Amino acid sequence: MNRFKIFPTVLALAMGLAGCGTASTTPADKTPISAEANGTFAGEGSGKGGKITVNVTLDQNEIKDIQVTESHESGVISDAYDIMRQAMIEQNTPDVDMVTGATLTSAGFRTAVEDAIKKAGVTLKEKKVTPHAKQEIDETYDVVVIGAGGAGLTAAITAAEAGAKVAVVDKLQMSAGNTLISGAEYAAPGNWLQKEENIEDSPELLAEDMLKGGDNLADPALVKTLAENALTGAEWLRDDVKVQWTDELMHFGGHSVTRSLVPVGATGVELISKLVDKAKEAGVKLYYGVRAEKINMQDGVVKGISAQALNGDTYTLHAEKGVILATGGFGSNPQMVEKYNPKLVGYKSTDSVADTGDGIAMAEEIGAQLVGMEYIQTYPLCDVLSGGLLYVDDARLYGYSILVNKEGERFVDELGRRDVLSSAILAQTGGICYEVMDEKAFKKAKIEENHGGEVAYLMNNHNLVKADTLQEAAEAFGIDAAKLAETIENYNKMVDAQTDTQFERKSMNMKIEQGPFYIVAATPAIHHTMGGIKINTNAEVLSTENQIIPGLYAAGEVTGGIHGSNRLGSCAIADITVFGRIAGEEAAKR
């Protein structure tokens, strides 16, 4: 849950009349008087990416079909529609469970269907569903992966491409881990865009930045492995998985140079959608809605897992070569957060609901060593209401905006380390900061294009203001308008000189001068847990005695020791890719 969002239009289908009875299709703005409705009715809701419209086909007051006619959700997020559609038709009601991991999309889809039924002017009779007959599934694979996020899918694909028979289990109903809801920027030293822009970089410089950014508390060997393999991993995503990258780079705090690749759409949807497609193409078996509960051992060697599905089915999955843990961190587990860092009690979280520390707990039960559990990172610019990561903030990462406090003053290097930024924001009036940009920045950063749903949500909740004048925008938040104008005048002079005399900011790529102006309110929220399971450079899990636990591997946020006390932005996607590939390779050849 790096950084969160979504987006192309789902295929629009024109639904014909059902032809039953005497009722005809009803226009969206009229309500039929009949007690029975046959035909197709339009409804509208709002999801994560914005407006969702549907056509609901009724036949004698039974839902026969639901088609999405407009949506700005894309990739795996739109899978939530299919899951809920099936349940709604089966139960003859829109009142079905939402898809965990796609809550806003699910709620918007449900609202759209409810709207269509309301316009039909009828009350549906819910059907009783025959209870599922629980089954006991016992299957054997070469490699079993726990977690269908970025690290898990990467590991699974790599193992499958090496010839292994692979299964992946995930407790959610779709691939909805932190990678999906992140910005998915990727720190890749020496990448193709850097070469075009004549930016000098190297794995050694990335490693140096990461070690320094984590207060030299990371394992140097793990950092070196990540840095030396980051570019190869990015190229693998581009060439093998077919992930599309934009033609611009971002500069995150703590990095010496601009080196972070940005996926098309500026979210993790591009990565996860392509990884899921590649996993299926590689023959990986994906079990969604199946929660791993135990790692099974035999004579001191990991031999598989026990799991249980949402429908009550139990699974015993044998792993001839190994089990790979890729379950993410614990940022969405308040009890674990409090246990390891009581200072963060009460903080909201940007993380996936799946990030509850399951893999860490399972590994600890069989003697795995944990490291750095107290190191929990907050992301500095998050929604003041939900804690969700803000993508309007993309402008800052391109060097197009500034942060000010209630008094209208800059107070920090906007591209500093995340922990430094978070602490600085919390020290301001109300623990809130305000990101300021102009129309040129808003367009150049493609805020509306990539994150239109978020823009609408923030504006509806008055946490993002667009105004013709800077004074009007400032007054909407009670910011000292005169001081803000002075701050921006001084900042623009520093942009001209390309020298930040206040905070030594490295990237100042645009003045703030052309209205309309935008201001968004933000505050920190829990974003990444740097601590977790200890691994070696082969992604093998180590015991409390520092011995390899045979047959057990781990990759991604479930591991510890890679980022020290603080993770630099865009290093997580490099982390999950590099160690996901290593875990898959090592498990497959065991």
Please give the residue that has the higher pLDDT: either 104 or 447. Answer: 447
| Predicted local distance difference test score (pLDDT) of residue 27 | 39
250, 503, 529, 256: which is closest to 391 by C-alpha?
250
Say whether 407 sits in a helix, a strand or coil: coil
Burial class from Cβ neighbours inside 10 Å (0-12, 13-18, 19+) for residue 14 reads: exposed
**Residue pLDDT, tens place only, 448-489:** 988 888 999 899 999 999 999 999 999 999 999 999 999 999
Longest dimension (CA), the chain: 76
458-486 b/e (C-beta count within 10 Å ≥ 16 → b) = beeeebbbbbeebebbbeebebbbebbee
* Cβ count near 154 (within 10 Å): 34
Alpha helices, DSSP H, located in 36-141: 79-91, 103-120
Amino acid letter, residue 180: L
Q: What is the DSSP letter of 197?
A: T
**Is a pLDDT exceeding 60 seen at residue 573?**
yes
Residues 169-185: pLDDT tens digits?
Answer: 999 999 988 999 899 99
Query: In this structure, what token pair is assigned to residue 352?
Result: 């996936």
pTM of the model: 0.83
Question: What is the Cα–Cα distance from 167 to 322, expressed in whole angstroms?
Answer: 11
Whether 162 has a pLDDT exceeding 80, the answer reads yes
CB-CB neighbours of 60 under 10 Å: 13
Q: What is the DSSP letter of 566?
A: -
Instruction: Band the pLDDT of 4: cuts 50, 70, 90.
Output: very low
Q: What pLDDT does residue 78 have?
A: 76
Predicted confidence (pLDDT) at residue 30 exceeds the cutoff of 60: no
> Are 231 and 207 in contact, with CB atoms under 8 Å apart?
no
- 68-104 burial, b if ≥16 CB within 10 A, otherwise e? bbebbbbbbbbbbbebbbebbbebbbbebebbbbbeb
Q: Is 168 left (phi over 0), alpha (psi -120 to 50) or beta?
A: beta
Q: How confident is the model at residue 16 (pLDDT cuts 50, 70, 90)?
A: very low
Nearest Cα neighbor of 87 from 173, 207, 177, 202 is: 173
- Residue whose token pair is 């193709």: 192
pLDDT at 287 over 50: yes
Q: What is the mean pLDDT of residues 183-202?
A: 97
| Those residues with Cβ within 8 angstroms of residue 570's Cβ, 6 or more apart along the chain or in another chain | 2, 185, 186, 187, 250, 252, 255, 259, 260, 261
pLDDT at 74: 64
Which of 105-114, 140-149, 566-575 bottoms out in mean pLDDT, i.e. has the lowest? Answer: 105-114
**26: pLDDT strictly greater than 50:** no
Per the rule left: phi > 0, alpha: psi between -120 and 50, beta: everything else, 144 is: beta
Predicted confidence at residue 72, as pLDDT, reads 77
Q: What integer pLDDT is reported at residue 576 of this predicted model?
A: 98
Tokens, residue 505: 């900011």
What pLDDT is stored for residue 38 in this prediction?
Answer: 86
Task: Judge whether 428 and 412 are in contact, CB under 8 Å.
Answer: no
Q: How many CA atoms lie within 13 A of 504 on its CB side?
A: 3
Is residue 204 a contact partner of residue 128, using CB atoms and an 8 Å limit? no
Burial group, residue 420, by CB count within 10 angstroms (0-12, 13-18, 19+): middle
338 has a pLDDT exceeding 60 = yes
Say if residue 25's pLDDT is above 80. Answer: no
Q: Are 91 and 6 in contact (CB under 8 A)?
A: no
**12 vs 218, residue with greater confidence:** 218
CA–CA distance, 416 with 412 (Å, rounded to integer): 8
pLDDT at 8: 32
Sheet of 260-263: strand order equals 186-187, 260-263, 245-250
Q: Which of 125-134, 318-327, 557-566 has the lowest mean pLDDT?
A: 125-134
The reported pLDDT for the residue numbered 219 is 98
pLDDT of residue 538: 98
Does residue 410 register a pLDDT over 80?
A: yes
Whole-number percent of the chain with pLDDT over 70? 93
Cα 411 to Cα 136: distance, rounded to the nearest angstrom? 59
C-beta separation of 272 from 154 below 8 A: no
Say if residue 136 is exposed, middle or buried (CB neighbours under 10 Å; 0-12, 13-18, 19+): exposed
Place of tokens 């075009």: 196
| pLDDT for res 132 | 86
* pLDDT > 60? residue 13: no
Active site residue 410: no
Q: What pLDDT, on the 0 to 100 scale, is given for residue 111?
A: 94
- Please state, rounded to an integer, the average pLDDT across all residues of the chain: 91
Per-residue pLDDT, 23 = 33
Q: How confident is the model at residue 1 (pLDDT cuts 50, 70, 90)?
A: very low
Catalytic option among 410, 418, 505, 581: 418
- What's the Cα-to-Cα distance from 102 to each of 321, 435, 505, 507, rounded to whole Å? 33, 27, 37, 35
Bridge partner residues of 260 (DSSP):
187, 250
Q: Indicate if the pLDDT at residue 20 is higher than 60.
A: no
DSSP states along 304-317:
EEEEEETTS-EEEE
pLDDT in tens, 511-568: 999 899 999 999 999 999 999 999 999 999 999 999 999 999 999 999 999 999 999 9
pLDDT recorded at residue 47: 76
Q: Could you read off the pLDDT of 381-409 as tens digits, one per residue?
A: 999 998 888 999 999 999 999 999 999 99
Helical axes 220-239 vs 571-589, angle rounded to 10°: 90
* Residue 165 dihedral angles phi and psi, to the nearest 5°: -90, 120
Q: Residue for token digits 């569903």?
A: 129
At residue 75, the pLDDT reads 66
Q: For residue 304, what are the β-bridge partners?
A: 296, 318
Instruction: Identify the pLDDT of residue 105.
Output: 85
What's the confidence (pLDDT) of residue 506? 86
Residue 22 has pLDDT above 80, yes or no: no
